[in-house]
Structure 1
């Protein structure tokens, strides 16, 4: 087994290096080489995350800090490897309250790196249930207490939220949810319609919502154009939105969704598109 793994790694490294060299003359080769680098680092960090979960579980710290520590490792490895940097405004808003429900706009797989930059301790990320079976990443997410949501199964989704509420009340555990429900892959300053799960969760738990706006970063990663460039991505943490006193009626939740989404879209538009000079 070790022999075959060594052969695989050698071929993978050679292919990545070859594509990186070809990337000086081919946009597509440069794009492919960075994807291979990203996938390899992601697998390494996920394996580390499974090990960290095993080590931290006896100390009661698995759910509390595993996703945070893996995120930071991801940031300090993948960020420099890809030349991606961040400017974060109001970062204190990620830490000063607990528990809360964080909601952020969802653009592409690169959001994993963004979470690595800003993800706080005592927070669990939510994900669609199909990711549970993804090698490496899915194993890590299961081991570290991620909130898996099966949108096709209402009973299962409600059960996942019930468990999240229990964690919020007993351990002060926050939750991170992408309310768009899927990656937009947009090259414009727009957001998809929001699903209501995150807002129902916040109201039922009577905890604040903290919106996090991520600048459109098609100047860094543009999957439609097959380009992956170094660059800086802006992030802004907005002021929390209280849910205390809301009863969870349809009208309450609808108003909450509308307010949060409008605030986030307004900020996203104000950020504008990233610097296109390098393109």
Structure 2
């Protein structure tokens, strides 16, 4: 036990020393290689995730016997990641217009969010409402701390290989939504796009079937393309502020499974229009800023 503890201390000391050294080089060198900032912030992101997952595991274990895990477990962990990540990664998300009001006053709902990179986990921390859980692929359940936390906090696991198991998971989630007025957050693209342009991958229909089965609203959430902040392909990870737009809820009242295709297409179109509009707005603001500077 002492041997394991000692080597854990050695590893963490080396980890933090390396991370802080890279941050220092990235900050103080006249023209530092971009990779220094990328590695430093990536290391900061991973250690922040581990710390918050450990906290979430403990918090969920305490809240579950009290019957409060559905309300608070994922919310409190998300907010911890938000506040800690603001300092360790230097990244913030700004919810524009009436987004906060929609997030906090729409319950239950299926929140559908565009999926760009691993930084979307931090995005969840900024938008997470009470009484909400996330869906995740089944393999994440076996990851230490993160998997323990997700299981204890009420995550809906989806088996992407076994469709019948996936349908049962969605049926269970729909029942929980109706009985406990529990919301669910889903990335309908199913995988990260890693795009440097404002775009969306094709949507999978599970989120929309779930909303129709549960008879709840769909709330589209769009983060602007943030490849200037994080782009794993370009080995770029900078500090910055990313805007998020929460669109008006889309009712599923009276809809059936035959309406899911159109519902999926319409929602995707609205989200794509929003992300494109945000990109155009950013370009206009940049042009005005350059004109003022000149």
Q: TM-score, normalised by structure 2?
A: 0.90
Q: Secondary structure at the match of 1:224?
A: helix
Aligned length, in residue pairs? 275
Q: Which one of the candidate residues 72, 88, 92 is aligned to 1:65? A: 72
| Shift of residue 132, structure 1, vs aligned partner | 1.5
Q: Which one of the candidate residues 209, 216, 220 is aligned to 2:225? A: 216
Are the aligned partners of 2:171 and 2:213 in contact in 1 as well (CA < 8 Å)? no
| Shift of residue 187, structure 1, vs aligned partner | 0.7
Q: Per-residue displacement from partner, 1:2-56 (whole Å, max 9, x unpaired)?
A: 2121111111111112222232422112210111111001100000000001111
Name whichever of 190-199 and 137-146 sits farther off: 137-146
| Shift of residue 57, structure 1, vs aligned partner | 1.0
Q: Residues of 2 paired with 1:99 and 1:272: CA distance?
A: 30
Q: Residues of 1 paired with 2:210 and 2:70: CA distance?
A: 18
Q: Residues of 1 paired with 2:105 and 2:11: CA distance?
A: 45
Q: Which one of the candidate residues 239, 249, 266 is aligned to 1:259? A: 266
Aligned to 2:238: 229
Q: Residues of 1 paired with 2:83 and 2:150: CA distance?
A: 19
Matched, 1:132 2:135: no
Q: Which one of the candidate residues 60, 70, 75 is aligned to 2:82? A: 75
Q: Residues of 2 paired with 1:34 and 1:146: CA distance?
A: 27
User: What pairs up with 1:42-53 in 2 under 5 angstroms?
Assistant: 42-53=49-60
Q: Residues of 2 paired with 1:170 and 1:56: CA distance?
A: 19
Q: TM-score, normalised by structure 1?
A: 0.95
Structure 1 moving runs of 4+ over 3 Å: 273-277
Aligned to 2:18: 15
Matched, 1:112 2:133: no
| Shift of residue 271, structure 1, vs aligned partner | 0.4
Q: Which one of the candidate residues 4, 7, 11 is aligned to 1:4? A: 7
| Shift of residue 86, structure 1, vs aligned partner | 2.1
Are the aligned partners of 2:64 and 2:153 in contact in 1 as well (CA < 8 Å)? no
Q: Residues of 2 paired with 1:26 and 1:137: CA distance?
A: 32
Unaligned runs of 5+ in 2: 288-294
Q: Residues of 2 paired with 1:4 and 1:223: CA distance?
A: 30
Unaligned runs of 5+ in 1: none
Higher relative helix content: 2
Of structures 1 and 2, the larger Rg is shown by 2
RMSD: 1.5
Matched, 1:86 2:86: no
